[in-house]
C-alpha cells in the first residue's frame, strides 16, 4: 500500500481539524513548515487514545492489545526506521464479511498514514520515543484506573496523557532554553484538568471519576451525587476549587512562552487562552457540567485574537 508524505500530512490535518477545533484554530498561526508536524503529532496521539475510547462499546482487553500494537510499531520505527502494517489487526478474518474486510483496510490505511507522517517528522525533530511510550502508559491507565485518591495520583495521569504532548510539541515549536520544558509540562496539566472538569458528566457515564477522592471528601460531594448529575452548593464549591487550581497551572505555563522561538509564541498563547476560556464557560453555566458541554465559540475565539496578539508581542520584548 503506497502512502505519499503529502497524503499522510493531509490526513493528519483532517484528523486535527475534525477532533481538536481549538487546537486547530491556534495552529493556523504557526509557520507553515511547523504546522504539518504539529498535525502529525496530534493525529498520532489521537489514534492511540482512540483505541481506549473504543472500550466504551468494546472490551478493554482488545483495546489494550490495539494500543500495544502502536507501541510495537513505534519501537520498530524508531529503532529500525521501518513501518509495518503486519500487526495492525490480527482479529479480522477477511472471509468473515465484506464489512470486516473494509474495516481492516480502513484501520490499516489510517495507521500507515499517521506513521508515514511521523517518520517524516523524526527526520527533522528529535522527539524522544520515551515520551510516546509514557503517553501510551497514560492511555492504558483508563483501562484499569477509574478513581484517583489524591491529586498527586491524578497529576501522574495528566502528565502522561497531556504533558507529554506539550513536551513533544516544544521540540517542534523550538525553544532557546530547556527551562521551557518545565513550563510545557504545566501547560499539559492545565489543559488536561480543563478536559476533566468539562467532561465530568460524560466520564461518569463510563463509571470514571477523575476528580481526586480527597477533594470530593473535602467538599462533601459523593460519587452518587455525580452519577445523579446533582449540582448543589457543595459541588459548586468543589468546582471553584478545581478551576482555581487549573488556572494556576495556566499562569505557571505561560511564564515559559518567552522561552519559545518567536514564531510560535503567539500560537501557544492563543491555545492557552482559548482553552482556558472553557473554565469561564463552566462558570457562566453555573458549574453545571452535566446538561451542557462547555465550549468556546468561533466568534469568541476571533474576538480575543487582537488582545492576545498584543500580549504575545510584549513577550518577546
Biggest alpha carbon distance in the chain? 65
The mean-pLDDT minimum among 13-22, 120-129, 229-238, 298-307 falls in: 298-307
Tens digits of residue pLDDT in 155-189: 999 999 999 999 999 999 999 999 999 999 999 99
Q: 130 vs 54, which has greater pLDDT?
A: 130
Owner of C-alpha cell 465550549: 295
How far is residue 168's CA from residue 217's CA, in Å, rounded to a whole number? 36
Tens digits of residue pLDDT in 36-79: 999 999 999 999 988 776 655 456 677 777 788 888 999 999 99
In the predicted structure, residue 266 carries a pLDDT above the cut 80: yes
Owner of C-alpha cell 496523557: 161
The mean-pLDDT minimum among 25-34, 48-57, 76-85, 220-229 falls in: 48-57
**pTM of structure:** 0.88
Contact partners, residue 147, CB within 8 Å, separation at least 6: 209, 213
DSSP-based three-state secondary structure for 260:
strand
DSSP-based three-state secondary structure for 148:
coil
* Mean pLDDT on 100-128: 78
Cα of first residue to Cα of last residue in the chain, in angstroms, is 50
What is the domain class of 145-317 according to CATH?
mainly alpha
DSSP, res 163: I
64-94 in b/e form (b: 16+ CB < 10 A) is bebbebbbebbebbbeeeebebebbbeebee
DSSP, res 3: -
* Mean pLDDT on 269-296: 95
Question: What share of the chain in percent tops pLDDT 70?
Answer: 88
The mean-pLDDT minimum among 20-24, 146-150, 288-292 falls in: 20-24
How far is residue 147's CA from residue 141's CA, in Å, rounded to a whole number? 10
DSSP-based three-state secondary structure for 147:
strand
Delimit the CATH 1.10.600.10 region(s) of the chain: 1-126, 145-317
In the predicted structure, residue 1 carries a pLDDT above the cut 80: no
CA 175, distance to chain mean position in Å, is 21
- Residues pairing with 147 in the sheet: 209
Question: Which CATH number describes the domain made up of 1-126?
Answer: 1.10.600.10
Amino acid at each position: 500500500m503506497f502512502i505519499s508524505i503529502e497524503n499522510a500530512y493531509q490526513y493528519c490535518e483532517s484528523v486535527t481539524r475534525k477532533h481538536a477545533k481549538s487546537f486547530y484554530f491556534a495552529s493556523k498561526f504557526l509557520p507553515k513548515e511547523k504546522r504539518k508536524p504539529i498535525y502529525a503529532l496530534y493525529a498520532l496521539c489521537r489514534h492511540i487514545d482512540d483505541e481506549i475510547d473504543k472500550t466504551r462499546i468494546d472490551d478493554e482487553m482488545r483495546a489494550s492489545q490495539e494500543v500495544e500494537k502502536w507501541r510495537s510499531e513505534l519501537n520498530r520505527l524508531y529503532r529500525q526506521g521501518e513501518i509495518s502494517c503486519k500487526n495492525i489487526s490480527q482479529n479480522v478474518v477477511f472471509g468473515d464479511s465484506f464489512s470486516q474486510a473494509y474495516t481492516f483496510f480502513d484501520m490499516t490505511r489510517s495507521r500507515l498514514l499517521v506513521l508515514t507522517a511521523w517518520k517524516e517528522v523524526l527526520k527533522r525533530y528529535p522527539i524522544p520515543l520515551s515520551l510516546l511510550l509514557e503517553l501510551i502508559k497514560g492511555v492504558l491507565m483508563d483501562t484499569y484506573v477509574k478513581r484517583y485518591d489524591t491529586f498527586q495520583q491524578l497529576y501522574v495521569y495528566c502528565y502522561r496523557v497531556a504533558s507529554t504532548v506539550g513536551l513533544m510539541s516544544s521540540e517542534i515549536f523550538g525553544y532557546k532554553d530547556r527551562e521551557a520544558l518545565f513550563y510545557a509540562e504545566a501547560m499539559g496539566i492545565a489543559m488536561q484538568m480543563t478536559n476533566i472538569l468539562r467532561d465530568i458528566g460524560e466520564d461518569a457515564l463510563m463509571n470514571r471519576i477523575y476528580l481526586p477522592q480527597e477533594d470530593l471528601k473535602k467538599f462533601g460531594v459523593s460519587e452518587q451525587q455525580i452519577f445523579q448529575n446533582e449540582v448543589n452548593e457543595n459541588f459548586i464549591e468543589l468546582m471553584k476549587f478545581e478551576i482555581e487550581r487549573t488556572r494556576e497551572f495556566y499562569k505557571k505555563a505561560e511564564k515559559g512562552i518567552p522561552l519559545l522561538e518567536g514564531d510560535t509564541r503567539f500560537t501557544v498563547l492563543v491555545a492557552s487562552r482559548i482553552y482556558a476560556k472553557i473554565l469561564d464557560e463552566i462558570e457562566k453555566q453555573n458549574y453545571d457540567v452535566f446538561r451542557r458541554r462547555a465550549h468556546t465559540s468561533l466568534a469568541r475565539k476571533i474576538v480575543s485574537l487582537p488582545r492576545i496578539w498584543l500580549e504575545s508581542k510584549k513577550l518577546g520584548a
